Amino acid sequence: MIRLDNVTKQYTTEVTAVRDASFDIPKGEFVFLVGASGSGKSTLLRLLNRQERPERGSVFVAGQDLNAMADSKVPFLRRNIGNIFQDYKLLLNKTVFENVAFTLEVIGRPNHVIKQQVPAVLELVQLHGKEDRFPHQLSGGEQQRVSIARAFVNRPLIMLADEPTGNLDPSTGEGIMRLLDRINKTGTTVVMATHDQRIVNMMRRRVIQLDRGVIIRDQVRGVYE
């Protein structure tokens, strides 16, 4: 599903965010990217949906070589990739329903599809009954669920999560992890960047560890350290 071959990403001549990274993530796997702040986790995720392009090496996602992909094809790649973030990135002037519907709307899905899929995914993230609330009327955990619903409503092949529990208290964070686990069980490949030791140790999934842009560990059913 995802393959990196000797990928190097340099922002400037001084800053090499990812150095000679290679790994292979099969379909349906759940992978943690761990490492200290600034070790290159977010950059790695951004390489996977072509928000960044590598200076060296190749990135393959869903069978496609992202280096060779034309700019005009990138939106269609991204329709297969859901993204969630530490700060949720919800649209504050839209309701829960509208935030989730937005994904389908901007890729031109017809209204009847929106009316059917949005309630279904809100049910999945346990937000039914809160469709008409605005983000500021929700707790942090609920806001993150909205953002997961938005990322998942189009049934993507891949979910990229960048420190999704970073702003949440431990028990709320665990709820989010259970949700991501359920999504993973539907066959969606999940790649999650985190430096939350507790969660990594609790989940016991594959762990790829970065240190200043270099992969120093790649372990199945790993722990944080």
Partner 1 sequence: MLTRITYALRETWASFKRNVTLSAASIVTAAVALLLAGSTLLIQKAFSNLLIQWQGGVEMIVFMKAGTSPEQIASVKQEIVDAGVAAPDGISTLDQQQTYDQAKVVLAGQTTLLNALSPTSMYSEIRVTPAKGQQDRLPDLKTQIEIEPNVSKVGLATDAILVYRRLSSFVRGVTIVLSSVLLMVAVLLIWNTIRTAMFARRREIEVMKLVGATNWFIRIPFMLEGLLQGLIGSVVSCIGLVAANSLWTNNLNGIAHDTKSSETISLLALRVDSGYLQGIMVIVVIIGMAAGAIGAGVAASRFLDV
Ligand X SMILES: Nc1ncnc2c1ncn2[C@@H]1O[C@H](COP(=O)(O)OP(=O)(O)O)[C@@H](O)[C@H]1O
What DSSP designation does 55 have?
A: S
To the nearest whole angstrom, how small is the minimum distance from the Cβ of residue 166 to partner 1? Answer: 18
If the CB atoms of residues 111 and 219 are measured against partner 1, the closer one turns out to be 111
79 lies in the binding site for partner 1 (CB under 8 A): yes
The count of other CB atoms within 10 Å of the CB of residue 64 is 15
Contact string 80-119 vs partner 1 (x = CB under 8 A): ---x-----x-x----------xx-xxxxxxx--x-----
If the CB atoms of residues 15 and 106 are measured against partner 1, the closer one turns out to be 106
If the CB atoms of residues 43 and 83 are measured against ligand X, the closer one turns out to be 43
130 lies in the binding site for partner 1 (CB under 8 A): no
11 lies in the binding site for partner 1 (CB under 8 A): no
If the CB atoms of residues 78 and 133 are measured against partner 1, the closer one turns out to be 78
Torsion angle of the four alpha carbons 55, 58, 180, 141, in this order, in degrees rounded to the nearest 10:
10
Q: In sequence order, which ranges of the chain are alpha helices (DSSP H)?
A: 41-48, 74-78, 96-106, 111-124, 140-152, 170-185, 197-203
Non-local (6+) Cβ contacts of 13 within 8 A are none
- Please state, in angstroms and rounded to a whole number, the distance separating the CA atoms of residues 206 and 200: 9
The binding site for partner 1 (CB under 8 A) comprises 49, 71-72, 74-79, 83, 89, 91, 102-103, 105-111, 114, 150-151, 154
